[in-house]
Amino acid sequence: MSNTPILELRAVSKSYGRGDAEVHALREVSLTTGAGEMVAVMGPSGSGKSTLLTIAGTLEDPTTGDVLVGGQPLAGMSRHGKARLRRQTIGYVFQDFNLLPGLTAAENVSLPLELDGLSARKARLAGLRALDGLGLGERSGHYPDQLSGGERQRVAIARAMVGERRLLLADEPSGALDSANGEAVMRLLHGACKNRGMTAVVVTHDAQLASWADRVVFLRDGRITDQTGPVPGPESLLVTESDK
């Protein structure tokens, strides 16, 4: 594992609109995350969480400041270069899963690799491996509407990780799930970071779920207002008074 930060935001600001209508969605946000690290982002609605993910995912450019993915600055990178980075390095997980209903779980997961030019057979094998890794091997031939919400979200996570992508960006991935499935999603993301050296940036409004992360970043009005260091894991909640 190299020590190059996988995602680096340097004094990133983002404004929308002009004049009186100008909105400062992010103000001088700096954030560095290394391989194997899971960062949770919390903050009230409108504080800039989605904007942070969008910019980290190269889907929008910052107004000022620099973004580096895998040590490569995005400024000056061609559209083609950014598209390749998105296909090969970055995985996205959304609140509402965004699976294609006409494709099976395995086809959904292997699609990004096929789009990247891998043969259908190799893409399928990698897709099955990713599903297996998340305990969904037996469900690979099922269509999304034959899966539970928790299973659908696991398929979406497999799709975001397939092909050894290194940066996973998740916008409230547990938002549409009950608390047990929400915990399961965070546990999987945490495991992917620790076992495979992936980096995850996960927006959540749930402090209990955020405690799976190595670090929690709090946003308010587009600024980072606070960062916790490594937080005690959820298992610390199991410690009883008599153990202390």
Q: How far is the CB of 119 from ligand ADP (least distance, A)?
A: 38
CA distances from 140 to 106, 108, 114, 132, 211 (A): 5, 9, 17, 9, 31
- Residue 10 Cα to chain centre, angstroms: 19
Query: Judged by CB, which is closer to ligand ADP: 166, or 215?
Result: 215
Name the residues that contact ligand ADP, by CB under 6 A: 16-17, 23, 25, 43, 45-51
Query: Judged by CB, which is closer to ligand ADP: 16, or 115?
Result: 16
Distance from C-alpha of 150 to C-alpha of 60, rounded to nearest angstrom: 29
Q: How far is the CB of 126 from ligand ADP (least distance, A)?
A: 32
Structure tokens at 210: 């955020």
Neighbours of 207 (CB within 10 A): 11
Q: What are phi and psi of 148, to 5 degrees?
A: -75, 170
Q: How far is the CB of 190 from ligand ADP (least distance, A)?
A: 22
Q: What are phi and psi of 227, to 5 degrees?
A: -140, 130
Query: Judged by CB, which is closer to ligand ADP: 50, or 88?
Result: 50
Query: Judged by CB, which is closer to ligand ADP: 45, or 240?
Result: 45
> What is the enclosing helix (H) or strand (E) of 178?
none
Query: Judged by CB, which is closer to ligand ADP: 105, or 200?
Result: 200
Q: How far is the CB of 47 from ligand ADP (least distance, A)?
A: 4
Q: How far is the CB of 219 from ligand ADP (least distance, A)?
A: 6
Neighbours of 21 (CB within 10 A): 7
Distance from C-alpha of 114 to C-alpha of 124, rounded to nearest angstrom: 9
Query: Judged by CB, which is closer to ligand ADP: 50, or 63?
Result: 50
Distance from C-alpha of 166 to C-alpha of 172, rounded to nearest angstrom: 19
Query: Judged by CB, which is closer to ligand ADP: 55, or 193?
Result: 55
Q: How far is the CB of 45 from ligand ADP (least distance, A)?
A: 4
Nearest to 231 by CA among 217, 244, 214: 214
Q: How far is the CB of 27 from ligand ADP (least distance, A)?
A: 11
Distance from C-alpha of 100 to C-alpha of 108, rounded to nearest angstrom: 7
